[in-house]
Amino acid sequence: MSLCPRILSRQAPRALSTVTKATSRSFTSTQFRQINSSKPVATTSTQALLAEFERRSNTIPAPPESREHPMVGIAPATRENVGQKRFADFDLRGRVFVVTGGARGLGLSLAEALAETGGYVYCFDREPGAGEAWDEASRRAEEYGGFLQYRQQDVQDSKGLDRTIEEIADKHQRLDGVVAAAGVQHLAPAMEWTREEANRMMDINYTGVMMTATSAARQMFKYKCHGSMCLIASMSGSVANKGLLSPVYNSSKAAVVQLARNLAMEWSPIRKDGTGGIRVNCISPGHILTPMVMKNFEEVPGLREKWESENMMGRLAQTSEFKGAALFLLSNASSFMTGNNLVIDGGHTAW
């Protein structure tokens, strides 16, 4: 059963307008600054701004009512699966996905999971080329009927992100989902952070995730694709990491978990015009042996041993151990799951 029927190109602007309508009514940050500024502002100007703010606040649409727009028809009926194909709910054949941070490490492993079950996966990263493991991952993907394609695309470039995702969706006449895995780390005591450092980390780890999700949602609404998004958070969004001073990183990951809940509320219901039906969930990994974490071990002696002793399994994770979770969240296997955070941390936060 297709979850993303092709529609005529002349329908796209109308469908897309449902996404952008609320944005056009938003109150600008400049106006907020004018209202809250300590500098004197003409009384009439202030009154006009407040009146406009009040008017727009009263006209901003509420989230769609889930009972009025239920998310039905997402998973194939049981009779379609039984006796037809093993693990049919996990089959991604012909579906199109974007994975940010996909040049190497966790992002590439998650992209592999989608491609190895038949998905067409576009990996975004700011690096000029993919990492060492790319060729082998691409070969395996083709062997199982999918493909991996690399695109140099920085999530901080919102306009470029829009263009690249739109190009992919237009090429395939669909977009079925996203894994937002791009992120950076920086270690420093709280009192040593500069505004510029904090803003850069939040721009990549939080704003970059949000811009990725919204860019993809525009195309999924445009082509009426009922799909799924997986935002990569961290157990660090729920706890303070013992032995590691990373207050902004941890805060950025907590923000991603909250973002997923809100996007799920807004996009999961299916509107009368067929748009929506997008599930949004998080994965919160524990400590993984990635290049970024290996760098942390170089910076903080004894950190690896400490982390290994802090979870119930006495070891750190490999990136490949999260492939099953990504496949679960991006496929019909998780058709009744949205707005949730899947913590996979070897028991670290359980004691």
Two structure tokens written together for 121 = 């996966």
Annotated catalytic residue within 249, 272, 306, 323: 249
pLDDT band at 46 (very low <50, low <70, confident <90, very high): confident
What's the average model confidence in pLDDT over 162-176? 98
124 and 218 co-located in one domain: yes
Q: Which residue has the higher pLDDT, 84 or 225?
A: 225
Q: Which of 332, 320, 344, 279 is nearest to 133 (CA)?
A: 320
Q: Would you say residue 28 has pLDDT above 60? A: no
* pLDDT tens, position by position, 248-259: 999 999 999 999
What is the C-alpha separation between 351 and 77, in angstroms, rounded?
Answer: 40
Amino acid at 70: P
67 is a domain residue = no
160 and 35 co-located in one domain: no
Q: Please answer whether residues 100 and 212 qualify as being in contact, where contact means their C-beta atoms are separated by less than 8 angstroms.
A: yes
72 is a domain residue = no
pLDDT of res. 102: 95
- Host H or E run for residue 344: strand 341-344
Other Cβ atoms closer than 10 A to 185: 18
Is 120 catalytic? The answer is no
pLDDT of res. 33: 44
Q: What angle do CA 206, 211, 215 make, to 5 degrees?
A: 155
* pLDDT tens, position by position, 74-124: 666 665 555 567 888 999 999 999 999 999 999 999 999 999 999 999 999
Q: What range defines the domain where residue 25 resides?
A: 21-60
247-267 and 195-202 helices cross at what angle (nearest 10)?
A: 40
pLDDT band at 55 (very low <50, low <70, confident <90, very high): confident
Number of domains the chain is built from? 2
pLDDT of res. 29: 45
160 and 303 co-located in one domain: yes
Q: What angle do CA 244, 185, 306 make, to 5 degrees?
A: 25
pLDDT band at 9 (very low <50, low <70, confident <90, very high): very low
120 and 245 co-located in one domain: yes
* pLDDT tens, position by position, 245-301: 999 999 999 999 999 999 999 999 999 999 999 999 999 999 999 887 888 899 889
Annotated catalytic residue within 222, 224, 253, 323: 253
43 and 154 co-located in one domain: no
CATH code at 207? 3.40.50.720
68 is a domain residue = no
Is 206 catalytic? The answer is no
* pLDDT tens, position by position, 130-168: 878 899 999 989 998 999 999 999 999 999 999 999 999
**pTM of the shown model:** 0.81
Taking all residues of the chain, what is their mean pLDDT, rounded to a whole number? 86
Two structure tokens written together for 6 = 């092709």
